[in-house]
Amino acid sequence: MIPMETKGGTSGTSRIKLTSFYSSKNEKIKFNWFSYELSMGIYDKIKKNTGNLLKRDQIGDDDLASFSIYFSKKMQDIILQKLAGKIETVYFSPEMIESYFPDISDKLEKKMLDAILKAWDELLSVCETCPVRCISEKDAYCTMFDEEYLYGDI
């Protein structure tokens, strides 16, 4: 699990629920856990790196949590394409931000994209040594979903 860095506010851990990443037991797989971790990292990095821009553009914590879930789920297809060798690199499109928040400022969009890139890089660096192997065993059952009491869903 990646460390949460949000100070003076709610972290992604308490805003983003595990149940956003599965609706049945067969969806409790390691790849969905990876997406959960990514969404928390996105939430925390954006919250930390955008300052008052979120408030100025009227984006609250719940909106940011929903966006983080949306973005990490959208990334699943791109990541799977990379794993299948269909694309060379994983990319982050500003259009994904614009489609979710069509009225945000260019400055906030750029800061959000930078924060997403930092969250991605941080997650990948943790994955290098993590024994769970969410990517190489992407379809395997993930027991961490069964420890919901640790993550605030119960």
Which pLDDT belongs to residue 42? Answer: 97
Q: What is the pLDDT of residues 42-69, one digit of tens each?
A: 999 999 999 789 999 999 999 999 999 9
pLDDT tens per residue across span 102-145 = 999 999 999 999 999 999 999 989 888 888 888 889 999 999 88
Q: What is the pLDDT of residue 123?
A: 92
According to DSSP H, which parts of the chain are helical? 12-15, 30-49, 53-56, 61-83, 94-100, 106-127
Tell me the two tokens of residue 26: 């067969």
Q: Which residues touch 96 (CB under 8 Å, ≥6 apart)?
A: 71, 74
Phi, psi of 29, deg, nearest 5:
-110, 160
Q: Is the pLDDT of residue 80 over 60?
A: yes
In 3-state terms, what secondary structure has residue 141? strand
Residue with tokens 């719940």: 62
Token pair 């065993």: residue: 137
Tens-digit pLDDT profile for residues 14-29: 789 999 999 999 999 9
DSSP class of residue 16 equals S
Higher pLDDT, 84 or 108: 108
Q: How far apart are alpha carbons 5 and 9 in whole angstroms?
A: 10
Residue pair 45/5 in contact (Cβ under 8 Å)? The answer is yes
pLDDT, residue 91, reads 84
* Cβ neighbours of 99 (radius 10 Å): 11
pLDDT in tens, 87-96: 888 888 899 9
Residue 1: which pLDDT band, with cuts at 50, 70 and 90? very low
Please tell me the pTM assigned to this model: 0.86
Identify the pLDDT of residue 154.
45
* Among the listed residues 142, 151, 65, 67, the one whose alpha carbon sits nearest the alpha carbon of residue 104: 67
